[in-house]
A = this chain, B = another copy of it.
């Protein structure tokens, strides 16, 4: 990655440096100086000889060298010219602080595009415009007007909101939270969130990547790359919503149930990104990830000097789905030896209100030694004898030795202040409530579960791709974006789905003959490219049991439907075998998200989808595990497995169906949406039938 010059430049030029206090061009320069930046600083301002004692230069050529990093603060209309100058001077990295671009309207957008064009041509990477700048505490670089340089740490922060970054900086500085870097990405016209996530992914001083985003520039690349980086370090993102256009209006089940947020959710899940609900939660998580080892499992022990908070922690552990650790007999015996008789040696271990630091120390050590314990929360309330400071020291000492995460929750303020300071200095994260500590451990163990997931292997089925190609191409050539039922079934048959047998009849006699060959009962469905909702026009007739019934139904359709839909081009009637309904009817669908691509859907027909909205989404391509997990994520799964004596259906067959559709829509990006509905699945071993399918295309 070529972004290292943004964080550790050998020299920095400030184009638009100002002598005037309060101006951004002054503040940034002073922040650079005040931060203790050790490289060369070149203020550039043709109208000044010096600024606060720093020699000023009229322009880039006069520097006599090419600065590693250029910060631009000139008004928007001059930025393109400055970019040209930088190109000439072979500058490679720039931060454009200046606002007044895309965010103000079409004219600004044009300006921004011009700046991007020049930069691309010259091979310049730039952050911004419309941003607060870059802060890199380990290199004493404060190239921003966001606030004072924080202490160095191992959290990298990326923010799409400058104001939020300033607030975070202010909060972090008040609480002594350290950062490796902070970047305000502004309009992200060039360098975007993913570039930075990649840069921080390989940056040694960064252990945790965190950020606030309002959107993601390139969905597919994000998922691909973030998945790799999440395998090395946790990525913690806050993503605020806003309404995502595009994903709303849709004719299919899948489309109407999927929204932009569903795709983001799936993308984050796939990539192992941990989504945070608030700044507080993000910092709760970040501090634990930055300072503590990952837990080996979900078993949490609690050590406390008061019952109430212990119960609160236990409640939260149960609610979050973590495991309340059961201490071994050996552990309980050891605790009984070290603690007073009235103490509770079961989890939550109560060292009692008069516990001094030594009791906490013994209890923490004994509990962490128990192989049934994966992590510990140390709760402390300020009571008469409580030694907050000494307890913090003791806990930190033990925690360092044991290789298991230890989180502290010292309740109170003034009376525990000295303890909180020790915790901070010794890298034990502190939480303001038992619930926050538990939520953090939950995030850590979910991350561990993600990291240890099986390797993703997408099965490739042998299919008749050529056949689908010809149908899709013909439709697109003819401008037909909705594929009719018969050909939609041809497509899914080509990808291995069984569909009901049947043929098109153009006369009543032919219909009766086909029915006779199929065997009764049969279904008749009107066949017309212009009729999507067949039932609405009386175009479906089920349970026909004789040739006569078939002939009658055919003639009635031919008589009635043209009256209802005079404009429809009726090509005939589909005569189809009736599918046994002993199985369960499920829906397999796909909706192509504009940002993240094909989003697979699974749900069960009837009330489960229509009333309960019990559906699962996941981004294609699906592995067998993904497909299975989609099923498991629905309540429908309980029904499919078989309830109360009812036999279950072939779960693997549904999972395979999902994978086959996943392959289809991955191989054909022209498919915009599709539903197989109903997909009738019977007992294990029987062949599921795709009774109906709907596919719509889009021009690529």
Return chain B residues, CB-CB under 8 Å to A342: 104
Q: How far, in Å, is A637 (CB) from chain B's closest CB?
A: 9
**Which of A161-169, A364-372, A507-515, A621-629 sits within the interface?**
A161-169
- Could you tell me if B308 and A214 are in contact, using CB atoms closer than 8 angstroms? yes
- The 3 residue pairs across chains A and B that have the minimum distance between CB atoms: A161-B308, A163-B306, A174-B413
- Could you tell me if B242 and A279 are in contact, using CB atoms closer than 8 angstroms? no
Residue of chain B at shortest CB distance from A319: B241
- Could you tell me if B382 and A167 are in contact, using CB atoms closer than 8 angstroms? yes
Produce 1/0 per residue, A157-200, CB < 8 A to B: 00111111011101101110000000000000000000000000
Q: Please tell me which one of the listed residues B145, B175, B611 contacts residue A413 in the complex, with CB atoms under 8 A apart.
A: B175
Q: How far, in Å, is A536 (CB) from chain B's closest CB?
A: 12
Q: How far, in Å, is A349 (CB) from chain B's closest CB?
A: 15
Return chain B residues, CB-CB under 8 Å to A312: 238, 240, 278
Residue A454 CB within 8 A of the other chain? no
Return chain B residues, CB-CB under 8 Å to A643: 607, 610-611
Residue A22 CB within 8 A of the other chain? yes
Q: Please tell me which one of the listed residues B175, B214, B381 contacts residue A166 in the complex, with CB atoms under 8 A apart.
A: B381
Bound CA–CA A639/B610 (angstroms): 10
Bound CA–CA A644/B608 (angstroms): 13
Q: Please tell me which one of the listed residues B22, B166, B241, B318 contacts residue A383 in the complex, with CB atoms under 8 A apart.
A: B166
Residue A635 CB within 8 A of the other chain? yes
Residue A647 CB within 8 A of the other chain? no
- Could you tell me if B22 and A411 are in contact, using CB atoms closer than 8 angstroms? no
Residue A496 CB within 8 A of the other chain? no
Bound CA–CA A309/B435 (angstroms): 24
Q: Which residues of A contact B (CB under 8 A)?
A: 22, 24, 27, 104, 145, 147, 159-164, 166-168, 170-171, 173-175, 212, 214, 238, 240-242, 277-280, 305-309, 311-312, 314-315, 318, 342, 353, 381-385, 411-416, 432-433, 435-436, 607, 610-612, 635, 638-639, 643-644
Residue of chain B at shortest CB distance from A411: B167
Bound CA–CA A164/B410 (angstroms): 11
- Could you tell me if A635 and B610 are in contact, using CB atoms closer than 8 angstroms? no
Return chain B residues, CB-CB under 8 Å to A174: 413-414
Bound CA–CA A241/B434 (angstroms): 14
14 contacts between A and B (CB under 8 A): A22-B384, A159-B308, A162-B306, A162-B353, A163-B353, A167-B381, A168-B411, A170-B414, A174-B413, A212-B308, A240-B308, A278-B436, A607-B638, A611-B639
Q: How far, in Å, is A436 (CB) from chain B's closest CB?
A: 8
Q: Please tell me which one of the listed residues B24, B242, B381 contacts residue A163 in the complex, with CB atoms under 8 A apart.
A: B381
- Could you tell me if A170 and B415 are in contact, using CB atoms closer than 8 angstroms? yes
Q: How far, in Å, is A222 (CB) from chain B's closest CB?
A: 19
| Known A-B contacts A104-B342, A164-B306, A643-B611; A311 and B241 likewise in contact (beta carbons under 8 Å) | yes
Return chain B residues, CB-CB under 8 Å to A279: 411, 432-433
- Could you tell me if B166 and A382 are in contact, using CB atoms closer than 8 angstroms? yes
Residue of chain B at shortest CB distance from A342: B104
Q: How far, in Å, is A154 (CB) from chain B's closest CB?
A: 21
- Could you tell me if A160 and B384 are in contact, using CB atoms closer than 8 angstroms? no
Return chain B residues, CB-CB under 8 Å to A160: 308
